[in-house]
Amino acid sequence: MLKLSVILLCGLFYVDAGMSRNQTNSDSPEVTTPLGKVKGSLMTTRLGKTIYAFRGIRYGEPPVGQQRFKQAEPVEPWEGTFDASKEGPSCGWLESKLQSEDCLRLNVYTTKLAEPGSAPRPVVVFFHPGGFWSRSGQSYIYGPEYLLDEDIILVTCNYRIGALGFFSTGDSLAPGNLGLKDQVEVLRFIQKNIRSFNGDPNSVTITGQSAGGWSVSLHLVSPMSKGLFHRAIVQSGAATYQNPFPPHQKDLAKKLARLLDCPTDTTGSMLVCLNTKPFEDIVATLTKFWEWHGDPILIWTPVIEPDLPGVERFLVEQPVDSIKHGRFEQVPVIGGIVKDEFAGVVVGVVEAARKGDNSVFDDINANFTKIAPISYLYERGTNRSLEISEDLRKFYFKGQPVGKDNYEGLGELYADGVTIFGVHRFINLLGKHSSKPVYYYNFAYQGRYSHVYWSEKKSFGVVHEDDLLYLFRKEEFPAIGGNDSEVLTLRRMTSIWGNFARTGEPIPVNNPDFSDFVWTPFTRDNPAYLEITDTLKIKKNLYIDRMNEWDKLFPIEY
């Protein structure tokens, strides 16, 4: 909804020789891995620790030419020393300047290199957000300076996005989910190589926000990811949302082909032609798939793959069914949302209306049953779709036309449809079917910085990605440090993430920032969640009235 939504998204092996040759006494630290030598650079944490940063390491062979729409091949060993001292390219997205199809890259950050006899550190892997069509793992977006004050190894990565990552026709030529299979290749790389960076392949926590959160929830149910991680953190997005995944996206594939003057009669003819097109041209088609002011946010999505001989399947059934029947990786999980999520998309509409331009509100009021399924991600063109839309209109707008004086319900509807309901479902399913603890949170801390502001520079609220400001250094925002009021929340967030990665328990003991606080796990019988503001409180039944509305409209048996 609206251009603002675009802004919001946007095994064991021998390592002794590698350990003995790791260099720590220069501005170019060097590590020897089973693939070859890697040269990095130095960064500094918030508290002044030295970070050994290895950026842009290739984990998969470049998916170019005839490999463009195929599953990534693991990177081959290299001769000489791989230069990982500077930023690697991102995968193609509209606002990226440093990009390339040779984008299957990851970053490894550590404050202690491997030495003979040193204890390996737990690994935290972060899958970036961006609606499966934007962003990257590059350090200027998700820098390590905050999390690396914890004694962990941080891995961030790119994966193919948009059409290049999720093109699917449901057959052997394009079964789909390439971007998610790229993520699996990252996890396989970690199993084989992370010891060389002083990481523990037997202690891997996967984390992700928004599309990255969707990704983490999908790794929990994917047979390809089994055994590759040991804990999971899902932030502001889960794949258990209201719309079932399709078996393919042939209609989108054919539209892409037509936009690039390619034939559409067979998958083969489409791919032969699409493989000849500059990848920038493929990326540039994205805006042609938006139907209403930048919506739908989800365009190229995961699919349920066909069972094909000799082809790995990332997703074999609906995630809801996998969890209900116990076919998922039973690991400790943290999951949660931020207080307002995507509600901030109303800012531009409200400010335009205050200046006399009510065109968007008028469109919503006149055409809600057409717009709602596009923006809030449910089935279209059916009698049931009409019933759902009318029910949502009554619930969120109280039977009144929506406008600049009563926009709050519109913001809540957008937040719930795009983000909150999927996470609610995910937590409730795990709370019933997982044998491991599930921790639920609502991040409601209002600091000075946010991703959405009114024109008078007042923040809208606590919106999508605001929690990441207390986990990662983002260059578009001032650094947090010294006596800043945000420091306590930053310390709490990084401590929770770090302690969970080390122990599977979110709250560290003997830490004065928590004062012996106990985070009660979520169960269906005790729907507890942690509210994070200036203080920490355990509450129950997060947004229960709104979630009951969605459970009524999209019922499942938990």
Per DSSP, the residues of 481-499 read -TT-TTHHHHHHHHHHHHH
Of 47, 62, 153, 165, which Cα lies nearest the Cα of 110?
153
pLDDT score for 27: 81
- 8 Å CB contact between 70 and 505: no
- The pLDDT assigned to 19 comes to 32
Q: What is the pLDDT of residue 117?
A: 87
> In whole angstroms, what is the distance from residue 189 CA to residue 550 CA?
39
CA–CA separation, 333 and 141 (whole Å):
25
327-353 in b/e form (b: 16+ CB < 10 A) is: ebbebbbbbbbbbbbbbbbbbbbbebb
Residue 93: predicted pLDDT: 87
For residue 26, the model assigns a pLDDT of 62
Is residue 138 within 8 A of residue 472, CB to CB? The reply is no
Residue pair 336/426 in contact (Cβ under 8 Å)? The answer is no
What's the whole-model pTM score? 0.95
Query: Treating both helix axes as pointing N-terminal to C-terminal, what angle do 421-433 and 544-553 enclose, rounded to 10 degrees?
Result: 90
Distance CA 428, CA 209 (A): 19
Please write down the HEC assignment for all residues of 388-431: HHHHHHHHHHCCCCCCCCCCHHHHHHHHHHHHHHHHHHHHHHHH
Identify whether 555 is preceded by a cis peptide bond (ω within 30 of 0). Answer: no
Dist CA 188 CA 183 (whole Å): 9
Residue type, 51: I
Q: Which residues are known to be catalytic?
A: 210, 341, 464
The two three-digit tokens of residue 262, written as one number? 């390619």
pLDDT of 6 reads 39
**438 residue type, one letter:** V
Distance CA 114, CA 108 (A): 13
Q: Is 265:449 a contact under the CB 8 Å cutoff?
A: no
pLDDT confidence of residue 96: 75
Blockwise average pLDDT, block size 10, the chain, 558 residues: 43 28 64 98 98 99 96 98 97 86 98 94 99 96 98 98 98 98 99 99 99 99 99 99 98 99 98 97 97 96 97 98 98 99 98 98 98 98 98 97 98 98 99 98 98 95 99 98 98 99 97 96 98 99 99 97
Q: What residue has token string 């003991």?
A: 509
